[in-house]
Amino acid sequence: MKHLFSPLLLIAILAVSGCGYDDGELPITPDTLCGPHNCSGCCLGNTCQPGTLDTTCGKGGGACVTCQAETRCSPDKNPICAPKLPLDSSWKVQPSTANIEPLDPSDGLSWDADNSPPDVVVEMTCPTDGAPITTRTSEISGLTPSWSDGGCTTTANALLNSPLTVNVIDIDFAFDDPISSFQYTLTAADFEAGVVVRTLPGNVGTLTLRLQPRQ
């Protein structure tokens, strides 16, 4: 037994165990392991991948993940497997807030003859997969009105392919006094942001629309 750990036997044991060598490749050490120090994509085992595929998604040298159905690999987002935008998904487009200039730029006068602020309504015509629908918010007086009514619910498909028509109106005693109007076709980026801020033509201010998915 005293010869069990002789130098020759020790060399034989080390050779069989591999001593960190992997079938002739470089030795696996902390420096050669796939990780944040040598991989800007993601690590699949010990292999660095670009990290932009649904099957191998990731960044910064973390472990690759597989994005499940209804998501797509978006390494710069959180979560990195971002939900897809199904074209048949239903969305609420809601006029949220506005900032209106205190004077009507067209004549430099207050919106109303008694110098009171405007009484603002947002009328919106929304595309659908059938006939367009037109709705109005309630009337809110002031230069920074906000609303939670009005708006419309329609499909992503319709909103990506046809414009919204938006009329911002000051309600007066006998008639609708137009403040501004515009048309705008939403983009996939707008859906991801969940919000759109539009400058109102005529240097009148801004209008914020919120986008919320509906079941």
**Beta strands in the chain, from DSSP E residues, in sequence order:** 42-44, 47-49, 62-63, 71-73, 81-83, 90-100, 103-104, 109-110, 119-126, 133-136, 140-141, 152-155, 164-171, 176-184, 195-200, 205-214
Task: Write the binding mask 43 to 82 for Ca ion: x where contact by CB under 5 A, - elsewhere.
Answer: ----------------------------------------
Q: Which of 170, 180, 186, 196 binds Ca ion (CB under 5 A)?
A: 170
- Nearest residue (CB) to Ca ion, 100 versus 186: 100
For CA atoms 121, 101, 97, 132, the dihedral sign is positive
How far apart CA 212 and CA 144 sit, in angstroms, is: 22
- Contact between 104 and Ca ion by CB under 5 A: the answer reads no
Task: Write the binding mask 116 to 145 for Ca ion: x where contact by CB under 5 A, - elsewhere.
Answer: ---x--------------------------
- Contact between 112 and Ca ion by CB under 5 A: the answer reads yes
DSSP label of 65: B
How far apart CA 108 and CA 110 sit, in angstroms, is: 7
User: Could you tell me the smallest distance in angstroms from the CB atom of residue 197 to Ca ion?
Assistant: 24
Piece in contact with Ca ion (CB under 5 A), picked from 12-20, 30-38, 144-152, 170-178: 170-178
User: Could you tell me the smallest distance in angstroms from the CB atom of residue 178 to Ca ion?
Assistant: 9
Q: Give the residues lining the site for Ca ion (CB under 5 A).
A: 111-112, 119, 170, 172, 177
